Amino acid sequence: MTFSCVIFFIHLRVALLLGFAVAAVGFLLIAPPITQDPGYHSFADHRSLWGVPNFWNVVSNLPFLLVAFYGLHALRSSAAFSATWERGAYCALLAGVALVAFGSAYYHAWPDNTTLVWDRLPMAVVFMALLATAIGERISMTIRRLMLVPLILLGVASVLYWRATGDLRPYIVVQFYPMVAIPLMLFLSRYTGSAAIGAMIGLYALAKLLELFDSQIGAELATGGHPGKHLAGAGAMFCYVQMVRRRRILKY
């Protein structure tokens, strides 16, 4: 492939990213408010073990904390980051993953809209940190440096907006836009290891399916599908931190 073709495909993917961003804004302006379904809090597993309510839905969040600690090993690598400030962005991501373990466990112990806030806040941080990181690695380091904090604040604001108004639309955009945008940038990285990003997205899709079919799986397995969702989500983040730990800067 010629250099001019590479530039063309880069510009095409950037145009698609901007197009999806415009579509997301259009969704926020046109779609009616989306409220939280009260049935969302009814999970297949209601059993308590050793004094822990909804035991498997709670303890299945532990892998998020383990992945966050495992991810710290990448900070020792001199080849995993091309700029010093990238380490700070990576730490923000790991902090979000670690807090998911606590926030999600707290929510699943006493599931309602109030505790769900503490589940969604760290997830919003993770989604936005991943998006900012992908932009930096695959389009522009300068743009990522400028957008990291605003994107994280936007993610947090989407959850607080839902809590204040009951409208889920901004949080839906925060959750799903990165999963659309990152695949478009998949082969534009300045680092090795892009295949791990594909695995991460695949496991995230599996997590959403397990969440969706929690009750149906519960008819076959007493635990339901939600603990599997947590394991798949933690597995997705493991793919990412493992990629960061092993990656190297590409030399053309």
> What is the average pLDDT across 97-104?
96
Q: What is the pLDDT of residue 252?
A: 44
Are the C-beta atoms of 163 and 113 separated by less than 8 Å?
yes
Q: What is the pLDDT of residue 142?
A: 63
Q: What is the pLDDT of residue 6?
A: 45
Give per-residue pLDDT as tens, 212-228: 877 777 666 666 778 88
| This prediction's pTM | 0.84
Pick the closest to residue 245 from 64, 81, 65, 66 (CA basis): 81
CA atoms of 194 and 199, how far apart (whole Å): 9
> What is the average pLDDT across 190-211?
81
Helix/strand/coil percent split, the chain, to 5: 75, 0, 25
Give per-residue pLDDT as tens, 34-78: 898 888 888 877 778 888 888 989 999 999 999 999 999 888 777
